[in-house]
Amino acid sequence: MIVRGGTALRPDLARIASWIEPGSRVLDLGCGDGTLLAELRDRRQVRGRGVELSDQCVIACARRGVDVIQQNLEDGLALFGDQAFDTVVLSKTLQAMHNTEHILKEMARVARYGVVSFPNFGYWPHGWSILRGRMPVTGEMPYQWYNTPNIHLCTLSDFEDLAQQCGLRILERATFDHNREVRWLPSWRSTLAVYRFSSAGA
């Protein structure tokens, strides 16, 4: 964890923050309690806005002074015009979206750059669980098969193939195993992947 101002910022969020240009416009989809947007506002003078469905998280954002809209992401991003933002972030939410391709294309429409993070289904203990006849349950995927919000699990290669199909150009990738960054054999050894991309024409 990276500690700033007495609060701990997850390593994946710290990496995302490092990819954001100071003073830029950021849209955070599924922004949770507003931790990332507050960090970007305070450390990088970012003009940010969040989209969140949870009542409790919207209240937490308001307490942090984070501008947030309460909306279901499945309804799309029609509220936002083309290239209204410099960067749009979708952290640990992609795997819970019903229409994965649509949200990625919408991200490319509303911002020059996109950042997504998701649990890596290629993490080697997942395969071991399946060989034992069980669905994986890990820190990044802590749910049982019958109550999980994760409906579209993928590996790093799966996402990279989809990004290409959607006309996205991957600019950077970081992978993590809990709080450690993974650089060797990330497809097997990482629990979480974070990607930064642009539309192919950007």
Q: What is the CATH number of the domain that holds 85?
A: 3.40.50.150
CA 179 – CA 91 distance, rounded (Å): 16
Strand partners, 9: 2
Using the predicted structure, report yes or no on whether residue 76 has a pLDDT greater than 70.
yes
Mean pLDDT in residue range 59-76: 94
- Domain membership flag for residue 144: no
**Nearest Cα to Cα of residue 154 among 105, 190, 179, 181:** 190
Split into its structural domains, the chain has a count of: 1
What is the strand order of the sheet 192-199 is part of? 68-70, 47-52, 25-29, 85-91, 111-119, 192-199, 168-177, 180-181
CA 160 – CA 120 distance, rounded (Å): 12
Res 161: pLDDT: 97
Of the ranges 7-16, 77-86, 87-96, 124-133, which one carries the lowest mean pLDDT score? 124-133
With bands split at pLDDT 50, 70 and 90, how would you rate the model's confidence at 6?
A: very low
Using the predicted structure, report yes or no on whether residue 151 has a pLDDT greater than 90.
no
With bands split at pLDDT 50, 70 and 90, how would you rate the model's confidence at 1?
A: very low
Using the predicted structure, report yes or no on whether residue 136 has a pLDDT greater than 60.
yes
Query: Strand (E) positions, 42-167?
Result: 47-52, 68-70, 85-91, 111-119
- Domain membership flag for residue 164: yes
- Domain membership flag for residue 147: no
Res 126: pLDDT: 78
Mean pLDDT in residue range 161-181: 95
Res 3: pLDDT: 43
Average pLDDT score, the chain: 90
Using the predicted structure, report yes or no on whether residue 199 has a pLDDT greater than 50.
yes
- Domain membership flag for residue 86: yes
- Domain membership flag for residue 135: no
Determine the structural domain holding residue 49 and report its residue range: 11-121+153-199
Res 179: pLDDT: 85
Spell out a b/e string for 123-141, using b for 16 or more CB atoms within 10 Å of the CB, else e. Answer: beebeeeeeeeeebeeebb
CA 180 – CA 188 distance, rounded (Å): 14
- Domain membership flag for residue 108: yes
